[in-house]
Amino acid sequence: MDVGDGAVIDRGGLDALIAGLRSTGFRTMGPVARNGAIVLGEVARSGGLPLGWRDRQEPGRYRLEQNQGPELFHWAVGPASWKSEFFSPEEVLWRTPTSDGHVTLAEPDEPARPIAIIGARPCEVTALGVLDRVLMGGKVPDNRYAARRADAFLLVVECGTPAGTCFCTSMGTGPSAGTGYDLALTELVEVEHRFYAQVGSATGAEVLAGVPHRPVTTDDRSARQAVLARAEAQMGHSLDTEGLPGLLARNLEHPRWQEVAERCLSCGNCTLVCPTCFCSDIKDVSDIAGAVERQRRWASCFDLEHSYLHGGPVRPTTASRYRQWLTHKLSTWWDQFGESGCVGCGRCIAWCPVGIDLTEEAAAIRATDGAVAAGEGRIS
């Protein structure tokens, strides 16, 4: 079996696939329904996946519903993204294990077991690629992130049921799988519950060849196309990306920044659920005996301290911080890394406590391109 080849497996085949990955030393992680949301957890068999669950998402709203169907992947995305498995929410960079008057720096060891992701979404695989360019594409890569990524196995599941907040078709990141995965599955439920599998890497080919499978038929192909076409038609949101980086770059004094700042709580939820947000704080923590730990934690550009210089923060107002977040995602990410920082997963829309919708904000600026705030509405 080669890259690009396909086969069909059933749920037993998926169980065999998970078991096979576990027997070769992988920690198999996947989406699980827990505490009313699809979150990430260890998955030892297909039954641990969100069987029969579907999500309903709108600006500021996320709910799970049971529909008793046979589907494992009848939902879009939960609040947690796979970013956290490679770029830890908090980790120790080094510590001084002794305090005998001499400084010794020790880096913690990496966990020995690599991760296999069972069921990332196409937009999430794109997001990992975006993060790769940031965290390991520059002159000095993040060695921990790079090591975790290099060893990982990525099984992507194409999207059949986008949420009301999804706009991957606008961003070119879904609902079908692009590149960057080992295996892609499409869940098909009509006539028989099965998965259309496509090989994305040599490892993926090996894994698929090792589980019970059958050749792809014309019916399987058209069933997959029908799933993807339905998903595209159901896409809840859209974003007009035509000239978007330039549009935002020339509207830094648009009155909309002040208007959205009156709704924005500056809570940072959007940055925590975003699969590409990469900001981190580096802090030293010491104990009473003199041992020191340097820690790295996810940070948010909505925090006042994020832009702190001696004398005060550079971005003291919510308007300036919201402007930083939106223009970074959709405009200056292009300057910095040559691509969009947004993959259209819609998490920031659903998990914003006041339902701020970045597609709506961008559209509002486009609708009044060139408007300039006066007086107190100005940021500068």
Partner 1 sequence: MTTRTESSSDTAALLGPLTPELYRIVGRRVETGDVVTLSLEPPGGRTSSAFSHGQFNMITAFGVGEVAISISSAPGAPGPIEHSVRDVGAVTHALCVAPIGATVGVRGPFGTNWGIDDLEDGADVVVVAGGIGLAPLRGAVRDLIDRMRAGRGEVFVVVGARSPEQILFAEDIEEWRRSGAHVIVTVDVGAPGWEGPVGVVTSLLAGAPFDPVRSVALTCGPEIMMRFAARALADRGVDPLRIRVSLERNMQCAIGLCGHCQLGPLLVCRDGPIVPFGGMADRLFMERQR
Report the interface residues with partner 1, using CB under 8 A: 93-94, 96-97, 102-109, 134-135, 138-144, 252, 278-284, 286, 290, 292, 294, 296, 299, 301, 306-310, 314-317, 319-320, 323-324, 327-328, 332, 335-336, 379-380
- Please say which residue, 146 or 267, places its beta carbon nearer to partner 1: 146
* Closer Cβ to partner 1, 88 or 203, answer by number: 88
Helices 122-135 and 143-151, axial angle in degrees (round to 10) = 140
4 or 101: whose CB is closer to partner 1? 101
Least distance (Å) from partner 1 to the CB of residue 365? 16
Report the residue number, 1 or 379, with the smaller CB distance to partner 1.
Answer: 379
Give the shortest CB-172-to-partner 1 separation in angstroms. 22
Of 138, 125, 105, 141, residue with least CA distance to 184: 125
Q: Which two tokens stand for residue 223?
A: 């069933």
Residue 346, SS3? Answer: coil
Interatomic CA distance for residues 254 and 373, integer angstroms: 6
CB of 282 to partner 1, least distance (A): 4
Scanning the structure block, which residue is given the tokens 């990306």?
A: 241
* Best CA proximity match to 340, nearest among 171, 176, 179: 171
Separation of alpha carbons 90 and 182, rounded Å = 28
| Beta pairing, strands 153-157 & 115-120 | parallel
Q: Which is nearer to partner 1, 109 or 262 (CB)?
A: 109
Q: Which residue has the tokens 């999500």?
A: 55
**Closest distance of CB 345 from partner 1, Å:** 19
- Give least dist CB 213 to partner 1, A: 41
Closest to 301 in 3D by CA, of 340, 264, 336 = 264
Closest to partner 1 by CB, 85 or 187: 85
Output the smallest distance, CB 7 to partner 1, in A: 39
Beta bridge partners of 116: 28, 153
The smaller minimum CB distance to partner 1, of residues 191 and 309, is found at 309
Q: Which residue in this structure is represented by tokens 């900001």? A: 279
Cis peptide preceding 175, ω within 30 of 0 = yes
Question: Closest distance between partner 1 and the C-beta of residue 277, in Å?
Answer: 8
Q: Name the token pair of 208.
A: 């698929």
CB of 360 to partner 1, least distance (A): 23
Quote the tokens at residue 9. Answer: 């497996």
Here the contacts of 98-105 (C-beta below 8 Å, separation 24 or greater) are: 98/291, 99/289, 99/290, 99/291
219 or 335: whose CB is closer to partner 1? 335
Name every residue whose Cβ is closer than 8 Å to that of residue 118 and which is 6 or more positions away in sequence.
18, 21, 28, 29, 30, 43, 49, 155
Beta-sheet pairing, 153-157 with 183-188 = parallel
Least gap, CB of 37 to partner 1 (angstroms): 27
Nearer to partner 1, 28 or 327 (CB): 327
